[in-house]
Amino acid sequence: MTALVDALRMRSPEDAMAILQRIRDGKSIELILQQIETGDLLMELHVAPESKYHYSFPRQKSIPLFLQKYNLPYLASKLYNALSGNESDDRAAAVQSTVELPQYSMPYHTAELVEPRIENINFTQWTTVTDDKKVLRNLIRSYFLYEYPWYAPFQKDYFLDDMVSGSYEFCSSLLVNTVLALACHCYDPLPNRAEHWNPQTLGYRFFAESKRLWDLASLEPGCLTTLQADIIFNVLYNMYSLDIIGAHHVVHATSIANELKLYATEGSNSDARLKRGYDFTAWSLFWWTSLLYHNVKMNFHETFLSKEDKPQIQSPDMEYHFSASRYARACFELIIRLYYAGHGFAYSDTYLTHTLTVMAFNAIQDINNQNSNQDQRTETEISSLENARKALLLASKGLDDQSQLYYISFSLLQVVCTDMEPSDATFVGTFTHRRNDRESVFIAQKRYVKAAYPVKLINMADHPYVQRLGNRVTG
């Protein structure tokens, strides 16, 4: 270890970065030292790096063959061809230029946001939490790189323009601090990002400042930036496993929307910029609340059937529906596998936790179904069981990776492991990097989980109350 530290200290910045990158890639210390001593590492610095990169599946070299039997459209996608390298010779030349594009050959986290306005922001006007301009700029970049693309509570250009100019029309200290609180989970160099309760973390300090400013803003007439901050607050509470507390921010945002007449048929704003900003936020709030509405509709139309009352398949029409369900699940799993192969699971994506949880419980259900028939297994069923275990491993690894960023991922992983067979839990444990010291701290926080998130609703007959995350973790 001393030799490695000496090498990092004594080598040029370029060599030191190359050494550090190999440490992050998981190379053994012995191999790195051997490369340094023999000069292999320095030689590699003068060779053009491989432009293609993808993550290797745990316990599996490639996409499972069983997914290919469904003739899924994603198997013909440019992304699949770029990751698998399996295109035919005739097609290879035709797709080569496309495959070499960075979005198909490089992980998303290697991208950098190019936004000159961020360099011109006077952060002292917007936050007092820290005056480290480099960190603040990187936080803003991380937010727009990782979180903003999949849900955008405000119009980016108006927000940045007002941050630079100092205008409060589409920017406020409340909104900026809330954005920075979420950005702390996206910014890789920050330690202990999942520990939202830890006052030593930068994320905690931004969140505390945001809450202080929100308490003050809630005493004033509603404004657009407070509504936008409410949406981000809701996301933060969800990722803290506190969605029951965070739900009131959606109610508050909706109340402000009504107060501002965001959904009025005829708007009163003659200012074109202001109208576009209002319209953008109206659609953003509508989209965000639509993620909650489907639960209401499911409850209205829910039909409870006991296992004994489930009818046998009586017609080919019913078989068609089961076939469509299997096809959809195969598409779902392939997309997640392509996501992992291209980008990995270790970087911020707040929606990823939900998809990984669904994948994990689908796999557990498949394993349980196969185990109930273990005396009469065919070779196909044995293969299906192995595929389900590998899917469970991949989903669990993803939840473990995301638990470095968000506490809800840790909470859900605990429930997933509880529902596994003991042998599967041991199997998964060998591929995750859970640490006893960290786990004891995280488990101590489970008493404070206040989450109504439905952990495992495989079918409409599952009772939602029993499967609420808060009940599963603390029960």
Instruction: Spell out a b/e string for 370-394, using b for 16 or more CB atoms within 10 Å of the CB, else e.
Output: beeeeeeeeeeeeebbbbbbbbbbb
The answer to whether 176 and 126 are in contact (CB under 8 A) is yes
The whole model's pTM is what? 0.81
Among 139-143, 328-332, 383-387, where is mean pLDDT lowest?
Answer: 383-387
Mean pLDDT of 411-416: 92
What are the distances in angstroms from CA 88 to CA 56, 81, 410? 22, 10, 42
Q: How many residues does the chain have?
A: 475
Residue 264: band (very low, low, confident or very high) from pLDDT cuts 50, 70, 90: confident
CA–CA separation, 43 vs 22, rounded Å?
14
CA–CA separation, 160 vs 21, rounded Å?
33
Residue 237 in this model has a pLDDT that exceeds 70: yes
Among 34-38, 192-196, 260-264, where is mean pLDDT lowest?
Answer: 34-38
Among 24-33, 255-264, 447-456, where is mean pLDDT lowest?
Answer: 24-33
What are the distances in angstroms from CA 196 to CA 201, 331, 448, 473? 8, 34, 12, 18
Count H helices and E strands in the chain, helices first.
21, 0
The widest CA-to-CA distance across the chain, in whole angstroms, is 75
Q: How many CA atoms lie within 13 A of 90 on its CB side?
A: 0
**Number of neighbouring beta carbons within 10 Å of residue 64:** 18
DSSP state of 454: B
CA–CA separation, 67 vs 62, rounded Å?
11
**Number of neighbouring beta carbons within 10 Å of residue 320:** 10
Residue 38: band (very low, low, confident or very high) from pLDDT cuts 50, 70, 90: very low
pLDDT greater at residue 240 or residue 297:
240
291 CA to centre of own chain: 16
Residue 48 in this model has a pLDDT that exceeds 80: no
Mean pLDDT of 85-89: 53
